[in-house]
Structures are given as C-alpha cells and as structure tokens.
Amino acid sequence: MLLLFVFIICISLLIYSYRYIISENIEITNIKFANGIEGGNYDNFNNTLHSLLKSSSLINKSYSKVHTNGSLKNIELVNSYRATIGAAQEDLFYDSIKGINVFQNKNKMENLRFITAGYFEKVHFIVRKENDNINSFKDLMDTRVKTIIGVGDAGSGSEYNFIIMSLLHNVNPSIFGKEGQTIRKKPSNPKIVYKNGDLNTLLNQFFKNEIQGIYLVTGSNNNFINNLVKKIDVKFIDVTQNSDSLFIDNSFNKYYYKKYIDLSNYYKDTEEQGKIPTFGIRMILFTNDKTGDDIAYEVAKQFYQKNYEFRRNINYIDNKLYTNEYEPIDLAYSDELYTIHPGARQFYIENNLISLTEKYKYDLDYYHDNVVKNYWKFPNIGIKSYNLMK
C-alpha cells in the first residue's frame, strides 16, 4: 500500500513538472502583443508587424495579442512581463521610465526596452465651426460656460495629453461625472471639463451637440474623423497657439514635435484644405529586458526594411498613400533616458543607424545620410516618387 502511495506521488510530481516545463516553454516562445483598442492604430500596426514576423526567422514562435484601452495599460503589461511587445505615446513612455506625472506615485518601469518609434501621432482638437468662442486651447479657460471635451477612454494617451496640456495652461481639469449629471450653463468658476468614452460614443455625442469638442491624439486619416467631417461643419484648432513658452527648459520639448494636420486628408473640396499647426508625438514600440535578442532584432529589421507594408496597411485610404507620419531621421532616434534592447541595438549597428565610434557619435550629417540610405529601400512608393537612394 505504501509503495502504491509513493508511486502515485511520483507520477503526480512528474506530471506537474512536465506541465511546468511546457508552460515555461510556452511563456518563452509566445510573443504577445499589447495592441490597444481593437481596430485602432496600435492594433493595425501590430497586426502588420505580427504578419511580417510570422514569415521571418521567428516563424516557429507562437503569437497572441491582448486589446487594451491604450498606452498606460500597454506599458504596464510589457513591464510586468505579461506582454512581449507594446506600443505607447512617447510622452507616457518617457514619463514611465522617469517616474513622473501619471507615474509619479508608481514604481519606475525599469524593465522596458526601446526598439523603435513606429510613426507620428498628432493632436486633433475639433469643435463645431459655428463655435466662435473656441479658436485656441487657451480659449477653453476664457469661456463663460463649462465646456465639455471628449478625450477618449479613461487611461488613454489622449486623456493624458489633454490633462497635461490643461495643467501647462495653469488649469486643473475636472472629469465629467456619471451619465446624466447636469452641468450648469453658467458656473461661477468656469473649468475645463473632459469626458471619457469610446470614440464612437463621443463622436455621436459631439454630433448631437451634447459635448462641445473632441480632443484626440491619433495618426493621420482617422476614419472616425473622416466620417465626422462628412456630417457636420467642424474646425480644427491650432493647439500650438500661445504654447511656445510652455515647452522651454523642461521635459516636454523632448517628445513634442511641431507638425501639421493636412486637411486634404479629410476634405476633397480645395477650399476646405489647408494645414493646421499641431503637436506630434511618436508612437514608441518597446519590449522588456526578458525578451530574446532575436525577437527585438527581427522587430527592428522588419520595420525598417519593410516599412512600406506599414504605410500601406495603416494609411491607405481613397487610393492615396500618405507617408507624412514616417520620418526615419526622427523615428530611429532614442533619447538617452531610454535603454535600447540589445537585439534592436545590434540591428542598428549592423545597418549604420547608430554608431559606437566617437567620430560619428554626434555627427548628424553622417547619421542622417545613413538613416536615409538604409531606411528607404523603395524609391517608388504608391503615387509618389522619391529620389533618396544613394
């Protein structure tokens, strides 16, 4: 009887050990993408990357993905090893490593490793055209009514950026309360009020004039915005007005780029077209320190050698191919605060995207020439022709 009992224990231990080993192997070989909202830019970007990796040297890896509400969750998942690859706005990525702003009371995300920037997202601030009270971000503080601005889901990069912009203008924004809460028409102390919600819901509320504006950090050619401008007359607000002094001698000038919203992306009528100044923020593609060098190397390789695939799959609308979000000299740059994953770093060194020699370390002409040469593999892209090959 005792022998039978010992035999059963041994078998149980063997089964447990086998399952543990199998689970560990699955954990190691599975590449999990933190994709953001389903159908969003991060999701589309990572889906393209996913398909490329499955046909690369990583063909034998298994793949999965998880949808989140955006940058904050993606950062947490990758840092805690619950996801392999994530995407986030650079302002949040920067803050997570430095332990400031929204990450001030949290542990620094010391496990994150930079791979590359993927493309530029831009601040889109939209109000109704007939709203004469709002023509700049500062006007939100001057209005006599409590203006409600939709900023996307709670924890999204759009919400975070809106809060930061408000604080930089010395206003503490308040969040709209429960559904149905009454907002007084003429409060004694006007405040900026923002409202969370999925993009479809917020745009419907904007269409019904239940909220007065939409504030999004998103890539060009956003389908939701495309549909919105077809239904009502809107105007895009220049968020850079009165903002130059806000970004002097602080961390914000490390990740805000001066960009433009090209209205021809949204309007076919020439009279409606033009360019609206805005801030651009890079989408950062990152992993953690437990990710194998082969994975980080291949991710960087696929992006820089097959960048045309990302342009085609993300920005292909109405038979026009827009490439203004992809600027290699800016996307390859890694702030000194970030730790580049060794695998990605090896790819950059092999392809002259970064240099370890003092002679070329800070030579921007050398850096620019080699980025262009190695990044733009295809001189003819869509309907445009580039003469950048050397």
278: enclosing H helix or E strand: strand 275-288
Burial class of residue 226 in the structure, from the number of CB atoms within 10 Å of its CB (0-12 exposed, 13-18 middle, 19+ buried): middle
Rounded Cα–Cα distance for residues 39 and 373 (Å): 33
Please determine, for residue 187, whether its predicted confidence score (pLDDT) is greater than 50.
no
Which amino acid appears at position 15 of this protein? I
Nearest to 279 by CA among 163, 161, 171: 161
For the segment 215-228, the average pLDDT, to the nearest whole number, is 83
Per-residue confidence at 316, pLDDT binned at 50, 70, 90?
very low
Nearest to 53 by CA among 261, 230, 298, 267: 298
User: What is the DSSP code string of 177-208?
Assistant: -STT----SS-SS---EEE---HHHHHHHHHT
Nearest to 314 by CA among 218, 231, 233: 218
- Tens digit of each residue's pLDDT (9 = 90 or more) over 230-249: 889 999 999 888 766 655 54
For the segment 336-353, the average pLDDT, to the nearest whole number, is 88
Burial readout 245-284 (b: 16 or more C-beta within 10 A, e: otherwise): ebbeeebbeebbeebbbbeebbeeeeeeeeebbbbbbbbb
For the segment 57-63, the average pLDDT, to the nearest whole number, is 90
Block residue for tokens 């549909």? 227
- Tens digit of each residue's pLDDT (9 = 90 or more) over 280-315: 899 999 999 999 999 999 999 998 888 777 776 655
Residue 381: HSE in the Cβ half-sphere, 13 Å Cα cutoff: 23
For 227, the token pair is 């549909």
* pTM score: 0.76
Rounded Cα–Cα distance for residues 99 and 109 (Å): 8
Position 308 scores a pLDDT of: 77
Q: Which structural domains are found in the chain, ordered by start?
A: 122-280 (3.40.190.10)
DSSP alpha helix (H) spans, the chain? 2-29, 41-54, 71-79, 90-98, 139-142, 157-168, 199-207, 223-231, 293-305, 307-315, 328-331, 342-350, 358-361, 364-375
Instruction: Please check whether residue 72 is in contact with residue 163, taking contact to mean a CB–CB distance below 8 angstroms.
Output: no
Backbone dihedral region of 79: left (phi > 0), alpha (psi from -120 to 50 degrees) or beta? alpha
Reduced DSSP (H G I as helix, E B as strand, rest coil) percent helix, strand, coil of the chain, to 5: 40, 20, 40
Which amino acid appears at position 201 of this protein? T
Position 379 scores a pLDDT of: 40
Higher-pLDDT residue of 74 and 147 is 74
Please determine, for residue 375, whether its predicted confidence score (pLDDT) is greater than 70.
no
Distance of CA 224 to the CA centre of its chain: 17
For 275, the token pair is 């360019």
